[in-house]
């Protein structure tokens, strides 16, 4: 039983390290490709969940709906996110984060 707990804890620590590394890597890439939209707050929101929405970024204080919509469109255009229409809502998937979470 304790071995299973140890293995689970080890896998969790590895996954956290991978997520942290990915967040830093993406942050550097975004700063290089689209520096005008980069912020630490934006990165934290992109990694809070494996998807984001315009109103989520607006509630986080990153700008009005139009501004954050432009941010998300730019991030998608540069290959950082992929959008998916779900009902009336458009979700922006952090597909790289999703891959880490799946493993």
Q: CATH no. for residue 57?
A: 1.10.10.10
Mean pLDDT of 2-15: 90
Residue listed under structure tokens 């980069």: 38
Each residue of 44-84: pLDDT tens digit? 999 999 999 999 999 999 999 999 999 999 999 999 999 99
| Distance from C-alpha of 80 to C-alpha of 89, rounded to nearest angstrom | 19
Range of the domain at 33: 2-102
Mean pLDDT of 12-37: 96
The gap between the terminal CA atoms of the chain, to the nearest Å, is 22
Looking at the 3D structure of the chain, how many domains does it have? Answer: 1
pTM of the model: 0.86
| Distance from C-alpha of 31 to C-alpha of 93, rounded to nearest angstrom | 19
């Amino acid at each position: 039983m304790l071995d299973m707990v140890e293995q689970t804890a080890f896998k969790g620590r590895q996954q956290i390290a991978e997520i942290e590394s990915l967040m830093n890597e993406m942050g550097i890439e975004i700063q290089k490709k689209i520096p005008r939209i980069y912020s630490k707050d934006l990165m934290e929101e992109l990694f809070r969940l494996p998807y984001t929405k315009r109103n989520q970024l607006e509630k986080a204080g990153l700008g009005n709906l139009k501004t954050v919509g432009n941010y998300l469109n730019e991030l998608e255009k540069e290959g950082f996110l992929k959008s998916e229409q779900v009902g009336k809502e458009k979700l922006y998937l952090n597909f790289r984060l999703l891959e880490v979470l799946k493993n």
